[in-house]
Structure 1
Amino acid sequence: MNLARLPIAIAATTAALFVTAPPAVAADPWAQGTVSTVGKIIWDAGGGRLGLCSGAIVDAPNGSVVATAAHCVSGDESPGAPGDVYFVPAYDHGREHYREDGWRVAAFHTPEGWDTTRETSAILPHDYAFLTLEAKDGRTVQEVWGANALAFEPVTEEGEVAVLGYPAADPYDGESLHYCAGDLRVLDQGEAEAANVGGLLLEECDLTAGSSGGPWLQDYDQATESGTVLAVMSVGSGEGQVVGRPFPDEARTLFTAAGAERAPAGG
């Protein structure tokens, strides 16, 4: 399968929803409704639009780090990080009060390779980011909601993976958590061009715009509502194939910076 033409289709803002017809393969609603360590990223994109992405809390020393996709932070049409961004853990039909329910983003951490002045194919392997959140009422997001473990490459093709997010393009409305699950597969040379080599592939999954940055989870524990984040949702074909971006070894430095930053006090 040649995935060279996969666009950054699971876009950050509602204006960029790319799916024009409902795909044939459907993602399922999460049976328990929500996951405490997974949530929705929302910001005012101007013109009456909201920016929409997904993310997951990951275990960090400051208790205030969310993993997501770099294209949720910046892109060729919006090279600067958005302002006044909120992460809402366990989001469920609450768009009108996301500021009250959410944790405000204090800092954005994207890799040096995510240079939006370059071609998409050149920067796609760097489509991951970390957000540092403000504390809220004197507590960190991790203290209140828990956290997932974070894994770095190499990722081995063992076991199943569940991909979670808040798809907002038809046939979804972005208001509830959906997921796909399947065998873990890593794209090798010959299966995809360089931009997608090393990415994680899941077929028969139609998670659409809004699910960008959502976690690819393994070893999920229903009691703690957490697992291990292997990657974040990066691109989709619009025809039932999605690719997750794992965290290379150089992402450790970025994660350390996000996890060491003192989370400022919020409301």
Structure 2
Amino acid sequence: MIALTGHGHSPGSAIAQTVSSSDSEDAKNYWTPARMKAATPEDQRRPQKHALLRTKKSIPQGTAFTGIPSVGRLFTHSKTGDHYCTASVVYSTKHNLALTAAHCIYSYNSGTKTGYYRDKIAFVPQYDAGNALYGIWSAKALLVHNGWKKNADPDLDFGFIVLTRDKTSGKNVADVTGSNRLTPNTALPENVHVVGYPASGTPGNDRAIQCDTTAIHRFKYQLAFDCDGFTGGTSGSPWLWRYDPAKKQGKVVGVLGGYHQGGITPQRSYSSLLDHDIADLRDQAESKG
């Protein structure tokens, strides 16, 4: 196994984007069932031939299912319209953090070298064919690493969303859905259970997709797995190591994103290496809760 070590990027140094209570409430109201169904995936991935990561085994196929509570669709609004990715609830002391890919919540323009946080952010745990089974959770703060904000560094393609407390129940999201534990610096290869939300209209029929596959250390600061079916919309999907089917929880060792913002085909997916950079960012997100 290969032990993963730090990037050597400057630690922390992220500035959170706070969301006012009125904007947060507006975001929650914005995402009607019709708007959720009309949103388009953040990424486009097209099938093409490529070499398998595991040369002696056929590539697994992701299968549609009803999802798990700790993973859901992440809806966002940008200058190009309404889009979606995938996000997951990760353990935090205040039970209110969701993890996704940085490119899902912060848009960067390489031509102008400028960017902006998206608005109308809403997380829908276990989204299923238009149904918000565990409610709609809006954001109170967004965080991506400064390395992503400055030049969309693919080695830092991860971000956190601090979610608002439910006004009716007084609960935070993890109190309702449970959470997965972020586990940086995990040695690979390891078997992982990946859950994400592919493009609507695919065989998943507007549902989640799951796959059991092997995560490997692909490039210096990138991880990868092979599994067919991870089309646009799956950016931000958690790679769950030691997944417990009974509890429907595991340890997060990867977040779909990174190289080519997660890959250019539905068969091979990537993640930025998760090391001290994501741990530092998580700690900063905790302080904003």
- 1:212 deviates by 0.6
Provide the secondary structure at the position in 1 that maps to 2:138: strand
Distance 1:23 1:207, change over 3 A: farther
Match of 1:200 in 2: 223
Q: Distance in 2 between matches of 1:239 and 1:134?
A: 33
Q: 1:157-177 CA distances to partner (integer Å, 9 max, x unpaired)?
A: 243112211011663567211
- 1:76 deviates by 2.4
The answer as to 2:195 corresponding to 1:168 is: no
State the number of aligned residues: 232
Instruction: Please list, as runs of the form range in 1=range in 2, the aligned pairs for 1:7-22 lying within 5 A after superposition.
Output: 14=40, 17-19=43-45
Distance 1:51 1:172, change over 3 A: farther
Instruction: Please list, as runs of the form range in 1=range in 2, the aligned pairs for 1:111-190 lying within 5 A after superposition.
Output: 111-116=145-150, 118=151, 123-136=153-166, 137=168, 138-153=170-185, 155-168=186-199, 171=202, 175-188=206-219
Provide the secondary structure at the position in 2 that maps to 1:79: strand
Match of 2:249 in 1: 226
Match of 1:67 in 2: 99
AA at the equivalent of 2:193: A
Match of 2:62 among 3, 27, 44: 27
Distance 1:215 1:16, change over 3 A: closer
Identify the structure with the greater strand proportion: 2
Q: Say whether the 8 Å CA contact 1:160–1:182 is kept in structure 2.
A: yes
- 1:81 deviates by 1.2
Match of 2:16 in 1: none
Distance 1:205 1:246, change over 3 A: farther
The answer as to 2:128 corresponding to 1:101 is: no
Q: Say whether the 8 Å CA contact 1:18–1:169 is kept in structure 2.
A: no
Q: Say whether the 8 Å CA contact 1:179–1:207 is kept in structure 2.
A: no
Match of 1:241 in 2: 268
AA at the equivalent of 1:163: V
Match of 1:41 in 2: 74
- 1:184 deviates by 2.5
AA at the equivalent of 2:161: L
Q: Distance in 1 between matches of 2:69 and 2:286?
A: 20
Q: 1:184-221 CA distances to partner (integer Å, 9 max, x unpaired)?
A: 21114xxxxxxxx3322112433011111010111111
**Structure 2 gap ranges (5+):** 1-38, 51-58
Match of 2:13 in 1: none
Q: Distance in 2 between matches of 1:17 and 1:250?
A: 24
- 1:14 deviates by 2.4
Q: TM-score, normalised by structure 2?
A: 0.72
Q: Distance in 2 between matches of 1:141 and 1:239?
A: 30
AA at the equivalent of 1:110: V
The answer as to 2:84 corresponding to 1:58 is: no
What percentage of aligned pairs have identical amino acids? 23
- 1:16 deviates by 5.3
AA at the equivalent of 2:248: E
The CA RMSD over aligned residues, in Å, is 2.7
Provide the secondary structure at the position in 1 that maps to 2:284: helix
Q: Distance in 2 between matches of 1:90 and 1:15?
A: 17
Q: 1:67-123 CA distances to partner (integer Å, 9 max, x unpaired)?
A: 11000011224821111211111111126x79x92100111110111035x3x5xx0
**Structure 1 gap ranges (5+):** 1-12, 189-196, 263-267
- 1:236 deviates by 1.4
AA at the equivalent of 2:64: P
Match of 1:191 in 2: none
Q: TM-score, normalised by structure 1?
A: 0.77
AA at the equivalent of 2:157: D
